[in-house]
Amino acid sequence: MKKPRFTPLQILVHFGGWLPLALLLFDFFNNNLTANPIQAIEQRTGLNAITFLILSLGCTPIASVFGWKELTQRRKALGNYAFLYAALHVSTFFILDYGLDLAAVWRDVGTKSFIIIGALAFLMLLPLAVTSFNYWMKRLGRNWKRLHRLVYVISPLVIIHFFMAKKGDLSTLSGDIIQPLVYGAVVLILLLLRLVPIKKPLIALRQKIFAR
């Protein structure tokens, strides 16, 4: 029998990748983006970006611990969707929110330092997006893998940016901290799952369970 062109997971990834943008456009054209549409676009695209970033970060550890190999083939597309939404998020900020007035952005950075953290994360995302093509993968060889380890720095930075944007304060448990806290916990777990002393026993456990 001929192999299907697309796997169900592949379809799900691409459907899920475009859906938030389609919903955003739908809400935009139906005037359904709250009283502050620019802020709503910023918040939605920011949340979409971090969600896809975490999903792509999860592919390798989940594939190795649970043996779901196909996930490693979907990592790139998920990373590209993360970049798409991050680019929309950043463009909304600079173009719609600040009308490309960089002096005004610079003035506000003093009171909104989370912007610097977001900008750092975005600058690090750029080379990952540019080199996501097979051409660069082949050209860079082992350095491609090294470069893409930047995601271990980007994800905690984005979580800090998220916390600060929500005015979260862990010491007083004030601000809207539940969502960034949940996202932060997921990132921490996914990073820990990459550590050999944690990963190895879990893989051994899975192999033991499925060998029965």
Residues in the chain: 212
Binding mask 28-57 for ligand HEM (x = CB under 6 A): -----------x--xx--xx-xx--x----
Helix axes 151-165, 37-66, angle to 10 degrees: 140
**Around 53, how many Cα atoms within 13 Å sit in the side-chain half-sphere?**
34
The answer to the question of residue 122 lying near ligand HEM (CB under 6 A) is yes
Q: Is 74 in the site for ligand HEM (CB under 6 A)?
A: no
What is the rounded CA–CA span in Å between residue 35 and residue 13? 31
Comparing CB distances to ligand HEM, the nearer of 49 and 55 is 49
Q: Which of 74, 58, 67 is nearest to 12 (CA)?
A: 74
> To the nearest whole angstrom, how small is the minimum distance from the Cβ of residue 159 to ligand HEM?
9
CB of 116 to ligand HEM, least distance (A): 9
Least gap, CB of 16 to ligand HEM (angstroms): 16
Q: Contact between 190 and ligand HEM (CB under 6 A)?
A: no
Smallest distance, ligand HEM to C-beta of residue 120, A: 8
C-alpha span between 56 and 67 (Å, rounded): 16
Q: Which of 59, 148, 161, 184 binds ligand HEM (CB under 6 A)?
A: 161
Q: Are 106 and 112 in contact (CB under 8 A)?
A: no
Spatial CA neighbour of 183 closest among 63, 42, 82, 33: 82
- Interface residues with ligand HEM (CB under 6 A) are 39, 42-43, 46-47, 49-50, 53, 86, 89-90, 93, 115, 118-119, 121-122, 125, 158, 161-162, 165-166
